[in-house]
């Protein structure tokens, strides 16, 4: 079958789309894909590297109602032309402004449309798609209340490819050149790193050291790696510093606590592996969705949250120390985190799409 997929701008929209496509390839031996993107989005780098075709449209972010509506309907016309030429069996959207024209274009062409929303607060593209989609797959159950049409929404979890490592924690720590029996912190700002997290963690180590003789795995991003590596070499603390970690399963498995942003994919992976978290939401995320994501995890006692404007080295040190002092609380947080995991979300979403379209064709 032929699948037309739109979702981009940021990795948070592109990666779920790629994960769904990968799973559809597994269950549909005759699967063909075309991705839709823009010249400005990360998809122009990521999608071709994964071996998928990418076609660009002219959609822009919303900046004023008259100009934005004109651009939107122009993009819908472009999308309709792509549908005429590609003749997809269905459309799949994963949010972001680039995906917005897909839903009305599919509706006008009589093509079934499916949607996946990652965050607790859906964007405008998802709200619009809820009027037309055969299914809206939600990463958070809380998102349903904000949709313009709720009847076809289903809580599936977010599509991630991560599995808990089967190796022992001791062996995993040795992979990172760390000691087998020490409490291990995993700091990550995502694949690109996060300057505010890096800066605060570094200041904490300079002023206080790592709490209670703990050790750390630190994914700092490639931009700051060389400078941090030079500084870290002067410290006595056990720190495994990386610009990027390919094997995230091992990093999660080696750790007792993660300090991270509150992006939907990061939280979905953290829940699948069941690791307690200190969440520091990115304060400039669209519609403050990271803070909303974090609150869902805090409410279930799976995580603690520190707002970036309140983040200081002393507060971070105290928060980590308090958790190390209370292993029972860490254990409860881990159990709560694990209960939020949806390890089969990708398979569930892909199978629902395939089964629906296959029934329609036959």
Q: What is the pLDDT of residue 69?
A: 74
**Do 2-160+343-361 and 169-339 share a fold?**
yes
pLDDT score recorded for residue 39: 87
Cβ–Cβ under 8 Å, residues 103 and 115: yes
36 and 79 in contact (C-beta within 8 Å)?
yes
Q: What is the CATH number of domain 2-160+343-361?
A: 3.40.50.2000
Q: How far is CA 51 from CA 209, 295, 354, in A?
A: 45, 37, 21
pLDDT for residue 246: 86
Mean pLDDT of 60-78: 77
User: Which helix (H) or strand (E) segment is 265 a member of?
Assistant: helix 264-273
Q: What is the pLDDT of residue 64?
A: 57
Q: For domain 169-339, give the CATH superfamily.
A: Glycogen Phosphorylase B; (3.40.50.2000)
Residue 279 Cα distances to 284, 291, 302, angstroms: 15, 9, 10
- Please tell me the predicted confidence (pLDDT) of residue 75: 93
Residue 141: DSSP 8-state: G
* pLDDT tens, position by position, 296-307: 999 999 999 999
List residues bridging with 241 in a β-sheet.
Answer: 218
pLDDT for 59 equals 83
| Mean of pLDDT values over 151-165 | 93
- C-beta of residue 160 within 8 angstroms of C-beta of residue 230: no
- Side by side, which strands form the sheet with 215-219? 239-242, 215-219, 184-188, 257-260, 277-279, 303-305
Q: How far is CA 248 from CA 17, 118, 245, in A?
A: 19, 20, 6
Q: What is the DSSP letter of 134?
A: S
Q: What's the whole-model pTM score? A: 0.90
Distance CA 360, CA 89 (A): 9
Higher-pLDDT residue of 285 and 113 is: 113
* Residue 193: per-residue pLDDT: 61
What pLDDT band is residue 191 in, cutting at 50, 70 and 90? Answer: low
Average pLDDT value for residue range 283-300: 93
What are the domain boundaries of the chain?
2-160+343-361, 169-339
Distance of CA 285 to CAs 262, 263, 282, 293, 335, Å? Answer: 10, 9, 6, 11, 28
Find the farthest-apart pair of alpha carbons in the chain and give their distance in angstroms, rounded.
67
Asked if 287 contacts 214 with a C-beta cutoff of 8 angstroms, the reply is no
Does position 65 have pLDDT exceeding 60, yes or no?
A: no
CA triplet 356, 358, 360: central angle to 5 degrees?
Answer: 70
User: Residue 3: which of 86, 85, 81 has the closest Cα?
Assistant: 86
Sequence-distant (≥ 6) Cβ neighbours of residue 297 within 8 angstroms: 262, 267, 271, 277, 279, 303, 305, 337, 340
In angstroms, the CA 291 to CA 284 distance is 10
- The predicted structure's pLDDT at residue 42: 80
pLDDT above 90: residue 282: yes
DSSP code per residue over 292-315: HHHHHHHHTTSEEE--GGG--HHH
pLDDT for residue 46? 87
pLDDT range class, residue 361, cuts 50, 70, 90? confident
Q: In the chain, where do the E strands start and end?
A: 2-6, 32-37, 53-56, 90-93, 113-117, 135-138, 153-155, 184-188, 215-219, 239-242, 257-260, 277-279, 303-305
Q: Is the pLDDT of residue 239 over 70?
A: yes
What digits encode the pLDDT tens for the residues 87-104?
999 999 999 889 999 999
Query: Is the pLDDT reported for residue 241 higher than 70?
Result: yes
């Amino acid at each position: 079958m032929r699948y037309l997929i739109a979702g981009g701008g940021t990795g948070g929209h592109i990666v779920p789309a790629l994960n769904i496509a990968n799973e559809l390839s597994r269950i549909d031996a005759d699967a063909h894909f075309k991705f839709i993107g823009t010249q400005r989005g990360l998809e122009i780098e990521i999608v071709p590297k994964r071996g998928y075709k990418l076609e660009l449209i002219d959609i822009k972010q919303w900046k004023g109602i008259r100009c934005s509506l004109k651009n939107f309907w122009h993009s819908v016309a472009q999308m309709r032309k792509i549908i005429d030429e590609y003749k997809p069996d269905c459309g799949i959207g994963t949010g972001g402004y680039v995906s917005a024209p897909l839903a009305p274009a599919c509706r006008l062409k009589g093509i079934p449309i499916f949607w996946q929303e990652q965050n607790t607060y859906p964007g405008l593209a998802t709200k619009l798609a809820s009027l037309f989609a055969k299914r809206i797959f939600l990463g958070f159950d809380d998102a349903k209340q904000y949709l313009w049409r709720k009847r076809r929404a289903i809580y599936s979890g977010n599509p991630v490819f991560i599995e808990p490592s089967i190796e022992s924690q001791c062996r995993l720590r040795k992979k990172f050149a760390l000691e087998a029996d020490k409490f291990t912190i995993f700091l990550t700002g995502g694949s690109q790193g996060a300057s505010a997290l890096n800066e605060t963690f570094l200041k904490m180590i300079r002023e206080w050291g790592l709490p209670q003789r703990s050790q750390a795995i630190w994914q700092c991003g490639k931009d700051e790696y060389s400078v941090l590596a030079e500084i870290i070499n002067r410290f006595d603390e056990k720190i495994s510093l990386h610009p990027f970690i390919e094997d995230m399963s091992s990093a999660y498995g080696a750790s007792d606590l993660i300090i991270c942003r509150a992006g939907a994919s990061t939280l979905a992976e953290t829940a699948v592996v069941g690791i307690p978290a200190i969440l520091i939401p990115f304060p400039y995320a669209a519609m403050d969705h990271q803070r909303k994501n974090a609150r869902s995890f805090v409410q279930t006692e799976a995580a603690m949250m520190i707002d970036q404007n309140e983040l200081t080295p002393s507060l971070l040190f105290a928060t980590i120390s308090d958790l190390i002092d209370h292993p029972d609380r860490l254990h409860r947080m881990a159990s709560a985190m694990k209960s939020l995991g949806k390890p089969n979300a990708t398979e569930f979403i892909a199978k629902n799409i395939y089964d629906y379209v296959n029934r329609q064709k036959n």
